[in-house]
Structure 1
């Protein structure tokens, strides 16, 4: 008598994937996402899908650091086509390495216009979490500039600082610093961190924070208890040029 044994396949484990948002930068209406798929233990597939892209092919890269900082190209990706699609397989970094990577994706308008960025977004350790703290920035005198400073925690513990102002003048740029002490400090406290200028046209400024000017590392959690305040200046950094300020951290 012959006995036939029917074997059952074990359920296949789906590949690991992670998707990140790509946001508009210089060309309005462009947005999308990038998906990382663990094709094998040594191969990762990086798929970009954008909407609103103009005609032509658009260079794309994985770069070091955060989008707020900019950084060198780590992996040159296949260009995004007319349909907003790009797919690249790489063995330069494993899926696990990319999930912790300090980097961002950037897509340009064209090879002849590399400074025009269609879309970009942080990945891996640079992804912004839902944890943040916002502080009020009050106007000084009659300048009429006020706003907020939002400290947002990244997965890797670093901080994205977003300063949002109203009352700024289009075309002007406003220097900003974080100082030791509080806004009540007589004579002002020393500058501990110079942050990126605020663009008066949009009333926005973005700074990725890893360390103070002195080189000392500082995390998001450190900022929550920091004895400091933030100054916005007109034209240049100086006590007589402060037009807006606010306490942060333990203050």
Structure 2
């Protein structure tokens, strides 16, 4: 499989290592200094760029019939446009706020727990996320996905960074050196607290998931998620 890497920072380099170890070829390494490349040489593109160029990258792929996997967060104001473009061109597209296989199991666990807690009004839910100091967006895309999972399975109506109203989920975003990503969901009452937590030890899990998604999407058309890739229902 020939892969174009759209974004060649730490994640791009990690994806490159894992892709090569699984027998794939990297045909393009694109960053802000890249002047010219042919996306059509790729069987699939993996976008881990920056928010300001992610939609441009995704559009380029879909307009040239190249399946695209995007893990860039902070660009989702244009997500519906990407879906429309994918459908218009009969393309293939996966966006995930987090490609880690473990995190995607955690997403499912979060939704299941939210459903169980929905009628226990004595508990208040909160989300905390911790990432490295180079992360550009806050809260993380993963935290937002977790919040949306709770909203879709509870009486909460929205999320808010820091202070939140009673119908909102408060998200605390912390930035600390060398933290790949830690997410905690807490349900707290006067008598006890229930926590579920995912801690990434390194970036390798995110990169592996992106490569697995790339392998899965070949030959398919449509807009998919990691639930489809992992058959999580």
Same fold (TM over 0.5): no
Using CA pairs under 8 Å that are at least 6 residues apart, name the structure with larger relative contact order, 1 or 2.
Answer: 2
| Greater strand content | 1
| Greater helix content | 2
